[in-house]
Amino acid sequence: MAHPKSRISKQRKRKRRTHYKATAPTLTVCQTTGEHHVPHRAYFDAEGNMFYNGNMLVKAPEQAEVETEDDDNE
């Protein structure tokens, strides 16, 4: 079985781990919609339209209104 030859001290372990840090993603603002998004990636706006590079790629599908008739069943 594999096991360490000698114990690694807390200081040595922590010095090695100082370089393991999370980076915040770079965000840009669209000139067309004003939405924040990751650069060079397509994104959806609040209405469901897909944009890339300031141009609309896919328009959001329109939702059909469903009418319920509860009065006819009584």
* DSSP H helical ranges for the chain: 10-17
Give 14-73 pLDDT, tens digit per residue: 999 999 999 999 999 988 889 999 999 999 988 889 999 888 888 988 877 777 777 666
User: Is residue 6 assigned to a domain?
Assistant: no
User: Is residue 71 assigned to a domain?
Assistant: no
pLDDT confidence of residue 73: 63
| Total domains in the fold of the chain | 1
* pTM of the shown model: 0.55
Number of Cβ within 10 Å of residue 30's Cβ equals: 15
Question: 46 lies in which domain range?
Answer: 25-61
User: Is residue 42 assigned to a domain?
Assistant: yes
Q: Are 28 and 39 in contact (CB under 8 A)?
A: yes
Kindly tell me if the per-residue pLDDT of 7 is higher than 60.
Answer: yes
Instruction: Give the whole-angstrom CA distance, residue 18 versus residue 38.
Output: 27
Kindly tell me if the per-residue pLDDT of 74 is higher than 60.
Answer: no
Q: Are 26 and 44 in contact (CB under 8 A)?
A: no
pLDDT confidence of residue 21: 92
pLDDT confidence of residue 72: 61
